[in-house]
Amino acid sequence: MLSYIDPGAGSLILQALAGGVAGVMVMGKLYWSRVKRVLRLGRDEPDADEPRP
């Protein structure tokens, strides 16, 4: 961690809301990158219970 206090993950994300259009774009990119990561994780490490395609 870079700081000595807990900045709070939610508190950091909230700050993108302040910036109008720029902020919305940051929020969009942030969540889109998460969606992509979730999809990729799903492909790379499928659950053991599921049959491999």
Partner 1 sequence: MVETSRTPTSLVLEPGSFRDWDGRVFLGRDRVYRALSAVGLADWDALAASDLFEQFTASGELVATDRAGDDVLDEIKRLDPAGGWVGALSHERLPFVSYPYEWSFSMLQDAALLQLRLVSTALNEGLMLKDATPYNVQWRGAQPVFVDVGSFERAREGEPWVGYRQFCMLFLYPLLLEAYRGVAFQPWLRGSLDGISPTDFRALFTRRDAFRPGMLRHVFLHAGLERRHADRGSDVRGELEKAGFDRKLVSATVENVAALVRRLRPRPGASTWSEYDQTCSYLDAETAAKEDFVRRVVGQRRRRLIWDLGCNEGRFSRIAAEGSNLVVAVDSDRAVVDRLYTSLRDEASTSILPLVVDLANPSPAVGWDNAERSTLADRGLPELSLCLALVHHLSISRNVPLREVVRWLRELECEVVVELPDRADPMVQRLLLGKRDDAHPDYSRETFEQELRARFEVVESVELASGTRTLYHAVPR
- Measured CA distances, 42 to 13, 27, 32 (Å): 24, 23, 15
User: Sign of the C-alpha dihedral, residues 24, 28, 34, 37?
Assistant: negative
Task: For tokens 């000595």, name the residue.
Answer: 4
Name the minimum Å distance from CB 9 to partner 1.
4
Give the contact letters, 10-49, x = binds to partner 1 (CB under 8 A), - = no. xxxxxxxxxxx-xx-xxx-xx--xx---------------
Q: How many residues in the shown chain lie near partner 1 by CB under 8 A?
A: 29
**Binding residues for partner 1 (CB under 8 A):** 1-20, 22-23, 25-27, 29-30, 33-34
